[in-house]
């Protein structure tokens, strides 16, 4: 079995910074992890790239050939990746062995993981290649300054969860940049009635039924739970990583193998 994180979230939510910090943390604790770039428009990396979609296709080339804008070009790049699952991707995955751990740094266009089926098909292909996959959704902690922004972030996360059908970990990123942390607790494990009251207070009366429908939807799918991440603190990074590891059952196979080895040794001693 192999393991993978699919790092998603809106543009500017800190996905690449998260990948870089995760790589540094794993180097510190002497744990092997491979970072994969799935953004065909990326230019600069602060982490070693184990696999790069730009070797297959890039936004600049597509823009020039198809005479389209950057957003349309990115969608076309991801569709080309989907068409290349059984050749380019399979060849790249042959470089990784059992128990390898991959982190896929994805583009920030939300339609990639909420509407078009590209990443869903990508994930299904990973599963066929014996990967346990977890979606890691990053939301900028600045969203907790306003209940309307927070609900919109929850809606995007919920759309991604339904679209990808994966174990899902929500992270409040950039906690080190959040100046006012006084109300952070009420968003980490938000009470639906409190959020509804906040929405009704901010929105016009004619939106009351819509506000209630939003809150009921979020409550029904239990999506209003975020884990804060402060990249300045190693303990915070380790806690988030341990939560993700639980979702993909990382390390459990190793524990089983150790127990089986111990049992075999006991039998030999007898």
The predicted pLDDT at position 269 comes to 46
Residue ranges of the chain with pLDDT lower than 70? 221-224, 253-270
Task: List phi, psi (to 5°) of 134.
Answer: -130, 135
State both tokens at 39.
């953004």
Tell me if 51 sits within 8 A of 34, measured CB to CB: yes
Question: What is each CA distance from 166 to 102, 172, 205, 217, 247, in whole angstroms?
Answer: 16, 19, 37, 18, 9
State both tokens at 69.
């804008």
CB-facing half-sphere around the CA of 77: CA atoms within 13 A: 30
Q: b/e map of 74-107 (b: 16 or more CB within 10 Å)?
A: bbbbbebbbebbeebbeebbeebeeebbbbbbbb
The predicted pLDDT at position 198 comes to 87
The predicted pLDDT at position 181 comes to 78
Short-list 88, 26, 8, 20, CA closest to 54: 88
The predicted pLDDT at position 257 comes to 47
User: Dihedral through CA 44, CA 4, CA 224, CA 17, nearest 10?
Assistant: -20
Q: Could you tell me which residues come within 8 angstroms of residue 235 by beta carbon, excluding any fewer than 6 positions away?
A: none
The conformational region for residue 165 under phi > 0 = left, psi -120 to 50 = alpha, else beta, is: left
Question: What is each CA distance from 173 to 70, 148, 236, in whole angstroms?
Answer: 26, 18, 11
The predicted pLDDT at position 152 comes to 87
The predicted pLDDT at position 223 comes to 59
Q: Which of 177-180's residues contact partners 24+ apart within 8 Å by CB, and which partners?
A: 177/141, 177/142, 178/141, 178/142, 178/144, 180/145
Q: How many Å apart are CA 161 and CA 113, to the nearest integer?
A: 9
Q: What's the whole-model pTM score?
A: 0.88
Question: What is each CA distance from 96 to 39, 82, 112, 119, 171, in whole angstroms?
Answer: 20, 20, 25, 20, 27
The predicted pLDDT at position 261 comes to 41
């Amino acid at each position: 079995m192999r393991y993978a994180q699919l790092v998603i979230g809106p543009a500017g939510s800190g996905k690449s910074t998260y990948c870089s910090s995760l790589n540094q943390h794993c180097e510190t604790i002497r744990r092997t992890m491979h970072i994969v770039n799935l953004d065909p428009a990326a230019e600069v990396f602060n982490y070693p790239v184990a696999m790069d979609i730009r070797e297959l296709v890039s936004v600049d080339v597509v823009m020039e050939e198809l005479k389209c804008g950057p957003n349309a070009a990115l969608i076309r790049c991801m569709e080309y990746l989907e068409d290349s699952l059984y050749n380019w991707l399979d060849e790249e995955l042959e470089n990784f062995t059992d128990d390898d751990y991959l982190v896929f740094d994805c583009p920030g266009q939300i339609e990639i993981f909420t509407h078009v089926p590209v990443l869903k098909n990508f994930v299904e292909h990973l599963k066929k290649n014996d990967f346990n996959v977890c979606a890691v959704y990053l939301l900028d902690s600045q969203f907790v300054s306003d209940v309307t922004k927070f609900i919109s972030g929850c809606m995007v996360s919920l759309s991604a969860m339904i679209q990808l059908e994966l174990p899902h970990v929500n992270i409040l990123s950039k906690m080190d940049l959040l100046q006012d942390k006084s109300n952070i607790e009420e968003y980490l494990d938000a009470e639906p009635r409190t959020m509804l009251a906040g929405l009704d207070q901010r929105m016009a009366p004619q939106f009351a039924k819509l506000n209630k429908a939003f809150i009921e939807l979020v409550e029904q799918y239990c999506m209003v739970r975020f884990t804060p991440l402060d990249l300045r603190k190693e303990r915070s990074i380790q806690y988030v990583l341990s939560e993700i590891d639980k979702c993909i059952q990382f390390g459990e196979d190793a524990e089983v193998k150790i127990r089986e080895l111990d049992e075999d040794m006991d039998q030999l001693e007898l």
